[in-house]
Amino acid sequence: MTTTAEPLAHRVFPMLPLPRVVSPDEWRTERLRLLAREKELTRARDVLNEERRALPAVLVRKDYAFETATGPARLIDLFEGRRQLIVYHFMFHRETGEGCSGCSHLADNVPHLAHLNARDTTLVFVSRAPLAEIEPFKRRMGWLVPWHSSWGSDFNYDFHVTLDESVAPLEYNYRTGPALEASGLPPHFAGELHGVSVFLRDGDRVLHTYSTYARGPEPMLATYAWLDITPFGRGEGWDGMPNLGIPLRHHDRYDA
Amino acid sequence: MTSIAVELPSVATREEWLAARLELLRKEKEATRLRDALSAERRRLPMVKVETDYRFQTSTGEKRLVDLFEGRRQLVIHHFMWIDRVDEGCPGCSMLVDTVGNLAHLNAANTTLAFVSRAPIRKLEAFRARMGWSIPIVSSAGTDFNYDFEVTLDPSRGAMRYNFRDVSDVGGMMASYTGDLPGVSVFLRDDDDVYHTYSAYARGTEPESNIFGFLDFTPLGRQDGRDVMPWARLHDRYDA
């Protein structure tokens, strides 16, 4: 017997429950009910954005050293002359020589940088791994965003994306102690976690304005925004969505 | 680059900042839960069978709606606006195309993303070449597609409705507007049958444009005052 391997994305999922079929008028009635709730969420998002802009900022006093494709750099150099810097704390696994698949998913969602740059904003990735280990993976994945190394500096520990209790008490997503353990992190966890930190430049001063972790960076993931409006959703099997059985992989590994 | 005069955040101690950040975090988590709840409600929406046999023009010939799925079960169509006055794609929609990265993850979730525009395929292809996009834009020229899904207003082509409202009820500029407006529509395929599950318009399409997702984390935000995206330009026009 021969079988033809079907591309993963074309697999049929016969067991998926389909939405019920209704008339256009019935659909419209239900859609309008949801629309009212969607507008609530849009307004809630606007309020959050306002509050985020109203956050105070903390002066960065430490002179962090980074290794970049163009040589050694300080935090202020990463702005490339712009006013705002968004750092995505990219988890790099030295043992496999690869970035984490979730962070790689985010990297696959990075937009054409012209629009961010035009808003005086530079986006970079920073990983706690030597640059020589990062660059082959970056080339393999075809990403263009600047990706710097914080290897040897306190940067990742200070912004709570590398945890190691021999360096600092464990903290992630603003949680410590029992609250951190309750979040599902194994006791004595040591290693990389993901996050986003935002900095503002005022002359030669650098201010830290914001950091977010765990599900906080999700609004950057256009993939999820597209999937969230579909009947199967993210296909991850939680919250009533079907489980498509396809965990996140590196983009060149789905057909493996 | 337009430099915007801004008030800098007040400089605080780490403890003061942390207190404010924790308060915001609590509200952010509420919003995440609300987003999840709405996504779950969206998945429970019923759907409507698409009975019209739309014929689209593509760079590889004529295609039906079911063909645009490329074999997958779900199809998300962004209705790409064409601006007749300048005869090019809308800057906001173009910015959205610029957010399209590697589609492997979306495709692995059995979902195809497509852009559909009312402009003729010849113009769409020239514009796509200029912008350097690999994702195709499909032409719905000559079909009722844009009018049926209420993303093109033209009094000679039927009901004037946008974002589920009659434009005469909206009033203002909308009452006399003709042309394209932003929207997204989602379809599900069951063998050869196609069902319409969802459409969103206006700011309902914002979450997909992750430029906002990035800028919303920054102290200067979207930098658009009261208007939505007055600054958005085609990516080859920022230095003009």
pLDDT tens for chain A, 256 residues: list them.
333 444 444 455 556 778 999 999 999 999 999 999 999 999 999 999 999 999 999 999 999 999 999 999 999 999 999 999 999 999 999 999 999 999 999 999 999 999 999 999 999 999 999 999 999 999 999 999 999 999 999 999 999 999 999 999 999 999 999 999 999 999 899 999 999 999 999 999 999 999 999 999 999 999 999 999 999 999 888 988 888 888 899 999 988 5
pLDDT at site A9? 43
| Contact residues, chain B, for A58 at CB < 8 Å | 11-14, 17
Residues B72 and B11: their CA atoms lie apart, in Å, by 51
- CB–CB of B71 and A251 under 8 A? no
Cβ-defined contact of A49 to B13 (cutoff 8 Å): no
| CA–CA distance, B136 with B114 (Å, rounded to integer) | 7
pLDDT score, position B229 = 65
Nearest to A57 among B17, B73, B74 (CB): B17
B47-210 is a CATH 3.90.79.10 domain: no
User: In terms of CA atoms, which chain A residue is nearest residue B98?
Assistant: A112
Domain A56-220 annotated CATH 3.40.30.10: yes
Q: Which residues 135-174 on chain B approach chain A with CB closer than 8 angstroms?
A: 163-164
Q: Does B203 touch chain A (CB under 8 A)?
A: yes
A-B contacts at Cβ under 8 angstroms: 314
Task: Count the Cβ atoms, other than its own, within 10 Å of residue B175.
Answer: 13
Q: Please give the single-letter amino acid code of residue A33.
A: R
The answer to whether the CB atoms of B238 and A35 lie below 8 A apart is no
Q: Are B53 and B159 in contact (CB under 8 A)?
A: no
Q: What is the ipTM of this complex?
A: 0.93
The CA–CA distances, whole Å, from A113 to A41, A80, A138, B213, B221 equal 27, 13, 17, 13, 16
Q: What average pLDDT does the segment B204-210 reach?
A: 93
> Are the Cβ atoms of B218 and A225 closer than 8 angstroms?
no
Say if A174 is an interface residue toward chain B (CB within 8 Å).
yes
A145 Cβ contact list (under 8 Å, min separation 6)? A107, A110, A113, A123, A124, A125
Which residue, A207, A206, A197, is CA-closest to A58?
A207
For residue A176, the surrounding DSSP H or E stretch is strand A175-176
Kindly state the greatest CA–CA separation across chain A: 71
A215 contacts B34? CB cut-off 8 A: no
Pick from A62, A96, A191, A113: nearest CA to B238? A113
Q: Do A118 and B211 touch (CB under 8 A)?
A: no
Among B217, B227, B231, the residue to mutate for chain A (most A Cβ within 10 A): B217
* Cα–Cα distance, B78 to B202 (Å, whole number): 12
Closest by Cβ to B12, choosing from A56, A111, A248: A56
Residues of chain A contacting residue B233, judged by C-beta atoms under 8 Å apart: 118
| pTM attached to this predicted model | 0.94
Residue B230: what pLDDT? 67
* Domains of chain B, residue spans: 47-210
Interface residue A6 vs chain B (CB under 8 A): no
Residue range B61-97, pLDDT digits in tens:
999 999 999 999 999 999 999 999 999 999 999 999 9
Q: A171-180: long-range contacts (C-beta < 8 A, 24 or more apart)? A: A172/A213, A172/A214, A173/A213, A173/A214, A173/A216, A174/A213, A174/B18, A174/B21, A174/B22, A174/B25
Can you read off the two tokens belonging to residue A121? 């904003």
Per the structure block, which two tokens stand in for A240? Answer: 């009533």
- Rounded Cα–Cα distance for residues A237 and B138 (Å): 32
Q: Which residues of A touch B47 (CB under 8 A)?
A: 18-22, 27, 231
SS3 A185: coil
State the sign of the Cα–Cα–Cα–Cα dihedral B1, B3, B4, B8.
positive
B204 touching chain A per CB within 8 A: yes
pLDDT of residue B1: 46
| Amino acid letter for position B153 | L
Residue B63 CA to residue B57 CA, distance in Å, equals 6
A252 touching chain B per CB within 8 A: yes
Torsion of CA A256, A141, A13, B199, to 10 degrees: -170
- The answer to whether A68 and A146 have CB atoms below 8 angstroms apart is yes
Say how many residues make up chain B: 240
- Do B57 and B121 contact (CB within 8 A), yes or no? yes
Helices A24-53, B14-43: axis angle to 10 degrees equals: 170
Quick check: B85 contacting A, CB < 8 Å?
no
| Distance in angstroms (rounded) separating the CA atoms of residues A193 and A212 | 11
**Nearest 5°: CA angle at B227, between B84 and A79?**
105
For chain A, the domains span: 56-220
What beta strand segments (E) does A30-170 contain?
A: 58-59, 65-68, 71-74, 84-89, 92-93, 98-99, 121-127, 147-149, 162-163
Query: Which residues 45-84 on chain A approach chain B with CB closer than 8 angstroms?
Result: 45, 47-49, 51-59, 83-84
Question: Do residues B239 and B229 touch, judged by C-beta distance below 8 A?
Answer: no
